Amino acid sequence: MGNHHSAQNTTLLRQVFTSIQPDSCPKHYNFHMHTNCSDGKLMPENLMSQAVRIGLQGMAITDHHSVDGYYRAAEWLETQNIDSLHLWTGMEITAYLPPVDVHILGYGFDPSEPSLAPYLTGREPRGVDARAERAISALHNAGAIVVLAHPCRYRRSPEELIPTAVSLGIDGVETYYAYNNPNPWIPSFEQTETVKRLGNSYNLLHTCGTDTHGLDLLQRL
């Protein structure tokens, strides 16, 4: 499933997000990880090899302000002729959601959509492009499902930030996330319950991810 059309299949991705459980990540699905195309340590090809070994069924590389890692990963999948793993396009954007900066994840988008150009420079967006409503709108224009990353990691509570994000059109929240880097990886119980409750109250999608920056896809760091 390495072709770019399937990487933009948000109908299937929405079904996957609807089925996510506390134990879906990191062995079955993982929708938050970084390569050395942004601030991660893994080469995209090595990351994909590890994903196949783990037995992942669906995933997205979410490098900061870049899809270079996605393209290399998709090419690797094609050359290996692996169809047991579905790779979606992904990206993480730093944006201003008053009154703080947050991280916004986009999935299943068309990277060639012109509205995404300010967010694919390898650097944080500037000026009006840095506003969360602009980033969310640009991702939606490219066909993306848009998710608020790790909602309990900011200087404002998820009770404050999630309703604001909803008012700007967010589609989901990263519900299953390990905030204290446990080994083995397990979602933080208290934060998960809070985000799940808030997400359900706004009818949001729930996602999961390790936010891997190191050399092990089963860990964050």
Cα separation, 76 vs 66, whole angstroms: 17
Domain-embedded: residue 176: yes
Per-residue pLDDT of the chain (221 residues; tens, 9 = 90+): 446 779 999 999 999 999 999 999 999 999 999 999 999 999 999 999 999 999 999 999 999 999 999 999 999 999 998 889 999 999 999 999 999 999 999 999 999 999 999 999 999 999 999 999 999 999 999 999 999 999 999 999 999 999 999 999 999 999 999 999 999 999 999 999 999 999 999 999 999 999 999 999 999 99
Q: Tell me whether residue 219 is in a domain.
A: no
Q: Is residue 112 part of a domain?
A: yes
Between CA 55 and CA 136, with CA 175 as vertex, the angle to 5 degrees is 100
Note whether 204 and 20 are within 8 A (CB): no
Domain of residue 169, residue span: 6-208
Residue 30 counted as domain residue: yes
Half-sphere exposure of 53 (CA within 13 A, CB side): 9
Residue 186 lies in a domain: yes
Residue 56: Cβ within 10 Å count: 21
Domain membership of residue 147 (yes or no) is: yes
The span from the CA of 22 to the CA of 7, in Å, is 24
With respect to residue 215, please indicate whether it lies within any of the assigned structural domains: no
Look at the pTM and tell me if it is higher than 0.85: yes
CATH of the domain at 146: 3.20.20.140
Total number of domains constituting the chain: 1
Tell me, yes or no, whether 169 lies in a domain. Answer: yes
